[in-house]
Chain A
Amino acid sequence: MTVTDTTEAVLAYDDVVAAYDPVLGLEVHVELNTATKMFCGCPTGFGAEPNTQVCPVCLGLPGALPVLNARGLESAIRIGLALNCEIASWCRFARKNYFYPDMPKNFQTSQYDEPIAFNGFLDVELDDGSTFRVEIERAHMEEDTGKSTHVGGATGRIHGADYSLVDYNRAGIPLIEIVTKPVEGAGERAPEIARAYVAALRDLLRALGVSDVRMEQGSLRCDANLSLRAKVPGAAPGSAEQRAVPLGTRSETKNVNSLRSVERAVRYEMTRHAARLAAGLKIVQETRHWHEDTGITTSGREKSDAEDYRYFPEPDLVPMSPDPAWVDELRGTLPEPPPQRRRRLQAEWGFADLEMRDLVNAGAVELVEATVAAGAAPAAARKWWSGELARRANADGVELAAMPVTPAQIAALQGLVDAGTLTDSLARQVLEGVLAGEGEPAEVVESRGLQVVSDDGALGAAVDRAIAENPDVADKVRSGKVAAVGALVGAVMKQMRGQADAAKVKALLTERLAPADSTTDVSTS
């Protein structure tokens, strides 16, 4: 087995799609967010000290036995239903046998020919608003392996490493593997469709509440299979003539850990395959590793068809036959499909397409919805979550939903702005206090003394003082240079430490500095 890290020849994309028809196959592994592992009671939290969330079962100690996590099965069925799958009336786990140090038992408890869910589809919305249907082969339950870290060596891979460390905290975390049928008819849009499918799946899983779906943490992982076949001249992608052409040899690209990477990896593989085919070379059926930094894939291990996992039904677990009444009950818990829900909310809120897409990409739809439900106007809610809060979350490197502020607090904050108690800039200071754990917005206003001064006496005094301290500017205004009033507004705001309504300040100044012809009346009155 050799590893080639050399850059391979690629063909220009336009030439690729002119000559070849791409066929995709996407395998997505989703870590469920159950409190405990699939077959034991160990916690599943991310980021714990290595090998602290383990027990005899997930360490595969001699004699230990698995017991199915009922919530894991429930999540699997809900995912299957949301993907329009049939749910097996009877199914089993199977053992997938192979040796690897991060597999405690040297077999993975998985499902083989009897998956919990099968024959479904997911309608994927593309950027131009059109919909592409991706057919689902199956969704099955399995357990995650441990995580190997290869120390030393240049590549961070096992070859050439000085030694390897294994963390079994991840071993036994519930996984659902969702496998598409061959995705045909994508044509030149194959890379976009691959990304859109994973994004749609992510949104669906998030709406189901079954997973954290964080690609960067590995709770959503995508393997992209790709093959090319000769394009039939004149035939449309997905047409019967095109489908009649046998599938080409596929490669399986792993380690694709962001939506953007899914698109780039598929695109790269299309150009790599095409270059080989155009040069009369064969495609090697193999696993490829995606490199985010260089934007290429390199060869992993060759994956021959002879690889034999010696599957057989897992004798330590009893077969599952979910009660149809329970399945129906779970069907009733399915959320509104995310695209449909997005369209509905967008219409209700009156947002532009771009505004809505930003919210979706920021994972802020639910937050805005909750903020609106708590009384804020949709536009104001959107402004907070995709503006100030998104900026802060990004700076702190945390998920928007993980910010220590609730939609109700944002609605309350906006309420204070709407009531004139706070200006926008004061509101941002109050938010800072809320994020710092100083309490509810009203409490922060109180403790920091941040509300707009509405006492006309104090304000009037500040205005008079500003005029007195800036006689030149005041004269300019009096002589009709109205724009000069801004400097005086600034001076007043400074005196008031920002706690004044700028519009009101401007009105007072304008009134006091009215042109000379009308001041006579004032002075004589």
Chain B
Amino acid sequence: MTGTTLPADLTRATAAGLAQALAAGDVSAVEVAQAHLDRIAAVDGTRDADGVATGRAVHAFLHVCAESALADAKAVDDARAAGQTLPALAGVPIAVKDVMATRGLPTTCGSRILQGWVPPYDATVVANIRAARMVVLGKTNMDEFAMGSSTEHSAYGPTRNPWDLDRIPGGSGGGSAASLAAFETPLATGTDTGGSIRQPASVTGTVGVKPTYGAVSRYGLVALASSLDQAGPCARTVLDTALLHQVMAGHDPMDSTSLTGEYPDVVAAARAGATGSLDGVTVGVVRELSGDGYQAGVLRRFEESLAVLTEAGAKVVEVSCPSFTVALAAYYLILPSEASSNLAKFDAMRYGLRVEPGGVAVPTAEQVMGATRAAGFGDEVKRRIILGTYALSSGYYDAYYGSAQKVRTLIQRDFAAAFGQADVLVSPTSPTTAFPLGDKLENPLAMYLQDVATIPANLAGVPGMSLPSGLADEDGLPVGLQILAPAGADDRLYRVGGALEAILTARWGGSVLDRVPDLSAALATAANGATR
């Protein structure tokens, strides 16, 4: 990796490149942080006093902490000047999804009910990031409590896709994905309960990984569905993703479901993959995750990726996972059930929003809880709480939650059988490219279908990656390829993803993100037109 030269615009650099330049003293952490803060100021837009996005801009961030970022960066520079040995990513900026508790920084989960809450503690993931001396730039927007595939369910207004500001950036982690595609940060964190890392990566031309369940601590992630949630890395290249993955992962005694034992070296796997050879690797194409319901341009890029994998030496076979066809249905029973219980704690008694009901002189605790939850939760959250409460009710439990858990077992068996035939499985990440804002807001089921290919991995706890496979012919928007591996074999994602990325970027003559429209031009148009 010697001889890497940083681009003149530091925001176009990779995390690996920045890390190397920082270590060599070619650039200071303060310069790097300032460049990204300037970029955020230029493209992210503004928010009103209530935190709601104003005007037509990216709006990837809910909260930017410029002051602490510059202070953290300076501390890194000082430590380096004092001759201290620092972790590999020291001084590299990062954006943190607002679902992660950050000591001293607001954490809202995109919800009105948590407006103003400043956690007294750091999520383990955040603590790991701080221990790695990375520079936190701010908190990124998301669908409220990670429920959604477009960030339109954020109480603070949607994030817009840097490829087309009138389109969604995916969700729930649309803020993190858009911040990467808009070059506001080289790295970001995400959480993935049914595709919230991978689908946004897919529709923004970035890379995102949902690690094996338990690989990254859930302590401090505001829970959506405990048995499905998994935090993971988001970046613009496979290697950068691996570098962040390594910082985030590791056993945590504060999380009972945290994995113990050997965990593979994902950075080494990414570097090995970058050689472009996949000799001896068998790639399984999941028959059920393709075809009907998938956009033509998405399928074309998918076929192309299969050809590239073959070219790299991989053997491509077809596998069948019949139970995947009912994964979505099972998911929408398990998720709301767990969420209805996880979200019960938001009751106005200890933190966050508190709304006194109107027309009652001395309200009871129940009335305050009711009024607060009515005002503080958005429609999608209420929809899922009601669904989950119903599914767990006495007399319905076996038919709904119980049956869904059985489907989950079947999906795990299908995965086991498929991984008996192939080292990794592949599919398009999302059935479509980024759709226009507002397109699916009135049709929750259509929105849910965005995650049809990503959900099985969460139900089985296996790791998955989405990386760019090019642009769809019909709309020129990014298409993502999903790679899935057996539990604990997260390194395979990086090996195969690294190879595919190496070959495709060589073919394209650069990253797919080199083709993101010039945002300053788009924003100028917006300012002049002001039509939306």
A63 touches B350 (CB 8 A): no
How far is the CB of B184 from the nearest CB of chain A, in Å? 25
Q: Does A316 contact B (CB under 8 A)?
A: yes
A107 touches B344 (CB 8 A): yes
B109 touches A99 (CB 8 A): no
How far is the CB of B176 from the nearest CB of chain A, in Å? 17
Chain B residues whose C-beta falls within 8 Å of the C-beta of A59 in the assembled complex: 350
Q: How distant is the Cα of A66 from the Cα of B120 in the complex, in angstroms?
A: 17
A316 touches B344 (CB 8 A): no
Proximity string of chain A (84-104) to chain B, C-beta cutoff 8 Å, 1 when within and 0 when not: 000000000001010111001
Proximity string of chain B (340-358) to chain A, C-beta cutoff 8 Å, 1 when within and 0 when not: 1100111101110000000
* Most chain B beta-carbon neighbours within 10 Å: one of A95, A99, A317: A99
A60 touches B256 (CB 8 A): no
A63 touches B222 (CB 8 A): yes
Q: How distant is the Cα of A2 from the Cα of B340 in the complex, in angstroms?
A: 30
How far is the CB of A316 from the nearest CB of chain B, in Å? 5
Chain B residues whose C-beta falls within 8 Å of the C-beta of A65 in the assembled complex: 218-219, 254-256
B341 touches A310 (CB 8 A): yes
Among A41-86, those with CB < 8 Å from B are: 56, 59-68
Cβ-neighbour of B365 out of A68, A164, A318 (below 8 A):
A164
B109 touches A62 (CB 8 A): yes
A63 touches B123 (CB 8 A): yes
Q: How distant is the Cα of A59 from the Cα of B349 in the complex, in angstroms?
A: 11
B256 touches A318 (CB 8 A): yes
Chain B residues whose C-beta falls within 8 Å of the C-beta of A315 in the assembled complex: 225-227, 257, 338
Of chain A, the residue at the smallest CB distance from B145 is: A62
How far is the CB of B43 from the nearest CB of chain A, in Å? 30
A101 touches B109 (CB 8 A): no
Of chain A, the residue at the smallest CB distance from B350 is: A59
Proximity string of chain A (285-311) to chain B, C-beta cutoff 8 Å, 1 when within and 0 when not: 000000000000000000000001011
Chain A residues whose C-beta falls within 8 Å of the C-beta of B366 in the assembled complex: 99
Q: How distant is the Cα of A232 from the Cα of B120 in the complex, in angstroms?
A: 64
B256 touches A101 (CB 8 A): no
Q: How distant is the Cα of A101 from the Cα of B341 in the complex, in angstroms?
A: 15
Among B476-492, those with CB < 8 Å from A are: none
* Most chain A beta-carbon neighbours within 10 Å: one of B107, B344, B366: B344
Given A97-B344, A97-B392, A312-B392, check contact A317 B256 (CB 8 Å): yes
Among B200-241, those with CB < 8 Å from A are: 218-223, 225-227
Chain A residues whose C-beta falls within 8 Å of the C-beta of B120 in the assembled complex: 56, 61
How far is the CB of A62 from the nearest CB of chain B, in Å? 4
A64 touches B341 (CB 8 A): no
Chain A residues whose C-beta falls within 8 Å of the C-beta of B255 in the assembled complex: 65, 67
Given A56-B121, A66-B256, check contact A101 B365 (CB 8 Å): yes
Q: Does A357 contact B (CB under 8 A)?
A: no
Q: How distant is the Cα of A136 from the Cα of B215 in the complex, in angstroms?
A: 41
How far is the CB of A96 from the nearest CB of chain B, in Å? 10
Which one of B56-64, B393-401, B518-526 is at the interface? Answer: B393-401
Q: Does A249 contact B (CB under 8 A)?
A: no
Q: Does A106 contact B (CB under 8 A)?
A: yes
Cβ-neighbour of B256 out of A62, A64, A68, A310 (below 8 A):
A68
Chain A residues whose C-beta falls within 8 Å of the C-beta of B218 in the assembled complex: 65
Chain B residues whose C-beta falls within 8 Å of the C-beta of A101 in the assembled complex: 347, 349, 365
Q: How distant is the Cα of A24 from the Cα of B353 in the complex, in angstroms?
A: 46
Chain A residues whose C-beta falls within 8 Å of the C-beta of B346 in the assembled complex: 62
Q: How distant is the Cα of A62 from the Cα of B344 in the complex, in angstroms?
A: 11
Of chain A, the residue at the smallest CB distance from B405 is: A313
Q: How distant is the Cα of A62 from the Cα of B345 in the complex, in angstroms?
A: 8
Q: How distant is the Cα of A296 from the Cα of B28 in the complex, in angstroms?
A: 77
Cβ-neighbour of B257 out of A62, A100, A106, A318 (below 8 A):
A318
B254 touches A312 (CB 8 A): no
Q: Does B119 contact A (CB under 8 A)?
A: yes
Q: Does A105 contact B (CB under 8 A)?
A: yes
Chain A residues whose C-beta falls within 8 Å of the C-beta of B365 in the assembled complex: 100-101, 164
Q: Does B389 contact A (CB under 8 A)?
A: yes
A310 touches B121 (CB 8 A): no
B220 touches A64 (CB 8 A): yes
B344 touches A105 (CB 8 A): yes
Among A307-329, those with CB < 8 Å from B are: 308, 310-312, 315-318
A310 touches B389 (CB 8 A): yes
Q: How distant is the Cα of A64 from the Cα of B119 in the complex, in angstroms?
A: 11
Given A56-B120, A312-B397, A318-B256, check contact A63 B219 (CB 8 Å): yes
Among B371-394, those with CB < 8 Å from A are: 389, 392-394
Q: Does B100 contact A (CB under 8 A)?
A: yes
How far is the CB of B328 from the nearest CB of chain A, in Å? 20
Q: How distant is the Cα of A308 from the Cα of B365 in the complex, in angstroms?
A: 20
Given A63-B100, A308-B394, check contact A99 B226 (CB 8 Å): no
Given A56-B120, A63-B123, A66-B256, check contact A107 B351 (CB 8 Å): no
Q: Does B337 contact A (CB under 8 A)?
A: yes
Given A104-B345, A105-B345, A316-B226, check contact A60 B117 (CB 8 Å): no
Chain B residues whose C-beta falls within 8 Å of the C-beta of A164 in the assembled complex: 365
Given A61-B120, A63-B100, A312-B401, check contact A106 B222 (CB 8 Å): no
Q: Does B101 contact A (CB under 8 A)?
A: yes
Q: Does B369 contact A (CB under 8 A)?
A: yes
Q: Does B114 contact A (CB under 8 A)?
A: yes
Q: List 26 A-B contacts (CB under 8 A).
A: A61-B121, A62-B107, A62-B222, A62-B345, A62-B346, A63-B101, A64-B220, A65-B254, A95-B341, A99-B347, A101-B347, A104-B345, A104-B350, A105-B345, A106-B344, A106-B347, A107-B344, A166-B349, A308-B393, A310-B341, A310-B393, A310-B397, A312-B401, A315-B225, A316-B256, A317-B257
Besides A62-B222, A104-B345, A310-B397, 20 new A-B residue pairs in contact (Cβ under 8 A), listed by A number: A56-B121, A60-B345, A61-B101, A61-B350, A62-B117, A62-B119, A62-B346, A63-B101, A63-B119, A63-B123, A64-B121, A67-B256, A100-B365, A101-B349, A107-B341, A310-B389, A311-B397, A312-B397, A312-B401, A316-B256
B binding-site residues for A, Cβ under 8 Å: 100-101, 107, 109, 114, 117, 119-121, 123, 218-223, 225-227, 253-257, 337-338, 340-341, 344-347, 349-351, 365-366, 369, 389, 392-394, 397, 401
